[in-house]
Amino acid sequence: MKLARTRAELQAALAGAARPLGLVPTMGWLHDGHRSLIERSRRENRATVVSIFVNPRQFGSSEDLARYPRDEARDLAICAAEGVDIVFAPPVEEVYPAGFDTTVSVGAIARPLEGAARPGHFDGVATVVAVLFGLVRAERAYFGQKDAQQVMVIRRMALDLAMATEVLSCPTVREPDGLALSSRNVRLSPEQRAAATVLHRALVAARTLHERGEASGDALRGEMRRVLATEPLARTEYVSCADARTLLELERVEGPALLSLAVLFGTVRLIDNEPLG
Ligand code: AMP
């Protein structure tokens, strides 16, 4: 496995890499969710690049950039064990060199949900992914359905800017009790960790209601709020029942939809989602 710290080292490593090439962008603190992306890339490509970069541009000023968990030695060991060919783990100035002055800003799909809750977040995501796509020029890149809106934003960007990398989405990997794996879970206290199963419970409750014939968006959002309210440690930021293509809130579910939510446990912010139909 080659470790590249600079753009130049990355280009040198890529020169010898087999094709097709798969890219798995991450912010490190790797878990089984990341592993599932790496495994899929390894199956579908002849070489895999994992990037490890905690992207300051996608964190708001008051957010958790400084508290984001990091353990590069452990991440590198996981990548080696998973058969990754190249790890790109650059310092901030290699991704954003002096003079860097471009922001990629995706339109309507980036506005609701996470875009509304975290102003500037998707500009940061789209910009860093554009840089990574440009540097790696992979045939395919793999993202998690756990961040459903993120995949949609990146797809839109790649399509609109005629990027040659195909954007692929992989299922959410969960703990046995339903909690979606996330690097942020490590910051939960034991009590918060136990309470955090409420995200998935709320999604399943709303999905079950829908399966029994409930099509009202308000009823499905209300069901998620009701379940979340049973957990005193959970502070609900938003619940959503949206059109799966536009992410605009639905009055009635009549086609593919996405249930999603964002919940705070102390300062730890968790998101999850569940498709309908
Ligand atoms: P992150 O390191 O949190 O930026 O995540 C890197 C990639 O892994 C993103 O495409 C995420 O959507 C994906 N990912 C994170 N958690 C999970 C999970 N539990 N299951 C599947 N993919 C995930």
CATH of the domain at 200: 3.30.1300.10
Poorest-pLDDT segment among 52-66, 159-173, 201-215 = 52-66
**Span 149-172, average pLDDT:** 98
Q: How many residues in the chain? A: 277
Burial category of 133 from C-beta neighbours within 10 Å (exposed 0-12, middle 13-18, buried 19 and up):
buried
Question: Which of the 8 DSSP states describes residue 58?
Answer: G
User: Does the C-beta of 240 come closer than 6 Å to ligand 1?
Assistant: no
The residue with greater pLDDT, 67 or 164, is 164
How many angstroms is it from 84 CA to the middle of ligand 1? 17
36 Cβ below 6 A of ligand 1: yes
Q: Please work out whether the CB of residue 199 comes within 6 Å of at least one atom of ligand 1.
A: no
Residues 82 and 214 in one domain: no
The protein residue with its alpha carbon nearest to ligand 1, atom 13, reads: 144
Shared domain for 160 and 191, answered yes or no, is no
Residue 180 Cα: closest atom of ligand 1: 19
- Residue burial 234-262, b: 16+ Cβ < 10 Å; e: rest: bebebbbbbbbeebeebeebeeebbbbbb
Of 146, 170, 194, the position where a domain reaches its end is: 170
Mean pLDDT of the region 237-261:
98
What confidence score (pLDDT) does residue 64 get?
77
Q: Verify that 164 and 80 share a domain, yes or no.
A: yes
Q: Whose CA is nearest to atom 19 of ligand 1?
A: 181
Asked whether the predicted pLDDT for residue 69 surpasses 80, the reply is: yes
Mind listing the pLDDT tens digit for each residue in 37-52? 999 999 999 999 999 9
Pick from 3, 9, 2, 10: which is nearest to 138 by CA? 10
Give the distance (Å) from ligand 1 centre to CA of residue 15.
27
Please report whether residue 201 resides in a domain: yes
Average pLDDT, the chain: 97
Q: Measuring CA to CA, which residue among 60, 57, 188 is closest to residue 117? A: 60
Mean pLDDT of 234-239: 98
Q: How far is residue 83's CA from residue 63's CA, in Å, rounded to a whole number?
A: 33
When pLDDT is cut at 50, 70 and 90, the band that residue 125 belongs to is very high
The residue range of the domain holding 130 is 2-170
Pocket flag, ligand 1, residue 34 (CB < 6 Å)? yes
Tally of structural domains, the chain: 2
Q: Around 183, how many Cα atoms within 13 Å sit in the side-chain half-sphere?
A: 18
Whether 18 and 151 share a structural domain: yes
**Which band of pLDDT confidence, cut at 50, 70 and 90, is reported for residue 61?**
confident
pLDDT of residue 211: 98
Cβ of 183 closer than 6 Å to ligand 1, yes or no, is yes
Q: Same domain for 94 and 42?
A: yes
Q: Quick one: 15 and 133 in the same domain?
A: yes
Does residue 62 surpass a pLDDT of 90? no
Q: What amino acid occupies position 141? A: A
As given in the structure block, the two tokens for residue 111 are 């506005």
Domain boundary among 122, 139, 170: 170
Same domain (yes/no): 126, 236: no
Active-site residue list: 34
Ligand 1 nearest atom to the CA of residue 147, by list position: 12
pTM score of the predicted model: 0.98
DSSP label at 241? E
Ligand 1 centroid distance, CA of 41 (Å)? 14
3-state secondary structure 89-117: CCCHHHHCCCCCCCCCCCCHHHCCCHHHH
Res 63 pLDDT > 70: no
